[in-house]
Structure 1
Amino acid sequence: MAEPNHTPPTQEDTAPTVPRAFGYCAWHQGHAEGVRLIDVIDQGSGSGITHFACGPCIAVNNLVPFADR
């Protein structure tokens, strides 16, 4: 009987991957993984302004993501 020549998958290998956004954090002014939309400022004749924040900045500054309001 043939012996297996690979290691069995771990739980991490079989878990579904959750997509995470990569973008610019307006609070620490740098790029980060897992940014969330915090604020949207509408402008009457323009595209508007959006502010994103990373997880650590959300926690430190007690920010509430736009989708959670």
Structure 2
Amino acid sequence: MNENSHLPPSEDNLRALGRIGLVYCTWHQGYTTTGKLVQAVDRTSGSGGVLFACLSCRRDHHLTPVSGDAS
């Protein structure tokens, strides 16, 4: 197994991954098809960014998607 398979993707690859339905779950540090945006970091206070969590991590860590969707 590739030891880099759990590293977050480069910013250049984020768009391509989103197009095929994959996002990087910040909590379990792997790719998922059930990921939802749970936090957006304001760019004015630093480098900014977004955090995604898969369904099981949202349940385990009581995270609510930004859209308000409870799934």
Q: What range is the shorter-chain TM-score in?
A: 0.5 to 0.7
CA spacing shift, 1:21–1:34, aligned 2, 3 Å: farther
Q: Normalised by the size of structure 2, how large is the TM-score?
A: 0.61
> Between the two proteins, what is the percent identity of the paired residues?
36
Unaligned runs of 5+ in 2: 1-19
Structure 1 ranges of 4+ moved more than 4 A: none
Cα RMSD, aligned residues only: 2.2
In structure 2, the residue matched to 1:51 is 51
Between Structure 1 and Structure 2, the one with more helix by share is 2
* CA apart distance, 1:33: 1.1
Q: Distance between the aligned counterparts of 2:63 and 2:37, measured in 1?
A: 10
Q: Secondary structure at the match of 2:63?
A: coil
May I ask how many residue pairs the two structures share in their alignment?
Answer: 50
Q: Secondary structure at the match of 2:28?
A: coil
* CA apart distance, 1:34: 1.3
Q: Distance between the aligned counterparts of 2:57 and 2:66, measured in 1?
A: 15
Matches within 5 A, 1:3-42: 21-42=21-42
Computing the radius of gyration from Cα coordinates, the structure with the larger value is 1
Q: Deviations over 1:6-56 (max 9, x none)?
A: xxxxxxxxxxxxxx8321000000111110000001122876210000000
Unaligned runs of 5+ in 1: 1-19
AA aligned to 1:41 is V
Q: Distance between the aligned counterparts of 2:28 and 2:46, measured in 1?
A: 26
